Copies of this chain bind each other. A is one copy, B any other.
Amino acid sequence: MREHKYDPVTPAVAEALRKIVGDKYVVFGDAEKLEPYSHDEVAEAEYAHSPECLVRPGSAEEIAAILKLANREHIPVTPRGAGSGLSGGAVPLYGGVVLLMDRMNRILEIDAENMMIVVEPGLVTNEINDKIRDLGLFYAGYPMSLETCFIGGNVAENAGGGKAVKYGVTGRYVTGLEMVTPTGEIVTLGGKLVKDVTGYNLVGLMVGSEGTLGVFTKITLKLMPLPKASVDLLVLFPTAEAAIAAVPQIMTGGGVIPTAVEFMDQTSVQAACEYLNESIPYQQAGAMLLITGDGSAPNPVERDYEAIGQQCLSAGAIEVYVADNYTTSERIWKVRRNIAEAFKVVSPHQSLEDIVVPIANIPAMVAGLAELSKKYDVAFPCYGHAGDGNLHATPVMNPTWTVDRWHQTLPAILTDLYKLTASLGGTISGEHGIGHKRKGYMPLVCSAAHIEVMRAIKRALDPNNILNPGKIFDV
């Protein structure tokens, strides 16, 4: 295997790619048109790298032909969905071809009888629920970026969802995949089956493999009955510590698994409210929990969540607002969903993190964040999926610093953050992935032998290291 020494995309290779997908679906030699594909939602320029060529395939067969060509010509290929990723997963680190999946965006089959849907990877995730709501069904795995992200990217990253506490993340719903292997073979894994132990769990391996082990071309997702009742509680606490201390209690005290338990500190809520010109009553609260419950009938859901509201009050909450209709609920959730976007406006120099710890260790984590904030003299706003132990702690550049100082200090901040996370039994990514943004920090949470197992699998399936090289680990 040659190491990272790829060959360039020559005009002859570009011509061969045009023959495979059609002239209009190849961009080559136009730096301006290629630039948007040099980055995802990780803003920092240091993580960006432009492709030499953009290819928009229309079928599994075309992707297979592209990958066979890439192996022959020794050119890296990086699959890309909506580019809404948060770890640089879709960045073509060594140039080569970006495989943009936006043309493969069809719903192939809605199978209500089997409670399954078969989609192409380029479908905007939100469209799934839009199309099946009237059938009394829903797809529970969707992430916060549901209005922009593609389902293929969700599967590649094993994206987390707003309903993950109760329903789990993307991976729980993927029962079948058609994919192209790094060497250009089309394989079908699983199907419309809720149980399947016929050989290795390759579907499970592919979910979250960040586009390094295969290119998905068809995705079969399990659907759930649309809950007939749901309620959101917006709970105001005096401090972040008080809010977070209530979480393990909520999770284990009531005998009910909430659908969501989201945490937002005051800085986060304020940023999102200003960004959206929204006015939820954040001023009086140091932090908030957004707790959602759902079920098959209103009465038990309401009773369960009245009890949870009471628990919160006993735990020191200032106020519990109940949102039991779509409009109010959507207003609150929109605030939560837009925090990351809002922070970008506040400061372009920040690092959106994705640590995850056992839920009982969240209070210790939040206390640790306060210490880190003091130690490095940087703000550390925090929000996230508290019910999953998954916190988007986000160190933000001290506005008095130079950008250079920020870049020089950030690795130390992240190292401390990740070491703290590891010491609490946690790890460095709950749902955003490693990509190349966090690759260098993997040894803080994975042993050499562990990383070597991953490398061995990568080498076995992608002997020329063609598919999305340089992500998760170096081969």
Contacts and interface: CB of A to CB of B under 8 A. Distances in A.
Contact of A195 (B209, B385, B456): B385
Contact of A198 (B198, B385, B428): B428
A434 B200 CA distance: 10
A213 to B, nearest CB: 8
Interface residues of A, number: 95
A162 to B, nearest CB: 13
Nearest to A157: B197
A193 interface: yes
Copies assembled: 2
Interface string A450-475: 11111011011100000000001100
A192 B358 contact: yes
Contacts of A255: 136, 225-226, 228, 296
A120 to B, nearest CB: 19
Contact of A200 (B157, B205, B224, B429): B205
A310 interface: no
B199 A164 contact: no
Interface in A413-472: 425-434, 442, 445-447, 449-454, 456-457, 459-461, 472
Of A189, A200, A358, most buried by chain B (CB within 10 Å of CB) is A200
B456 A200 contact: no
B429 A198 contact: yes
A427 B193 contact: yes
A189 B450 contact: yes
Interface in A170-207: 171-172, 181, 185-189, 191-202, 204-205, 207
Interface stretch (A30-38, A68-76, A298-306, A323-331): A298-306
Contacts of A202: 205, 450, 453-454
A434 B197 contact: yes
Interface stretch (A17-25, A91-99, A109-117, A403-411): A109-117
A458 B195 CA distance: 22
Interface in A50-93: none
B172 A168 contact: yes
A9 interface: no
A207 to B, nearest CB: 6
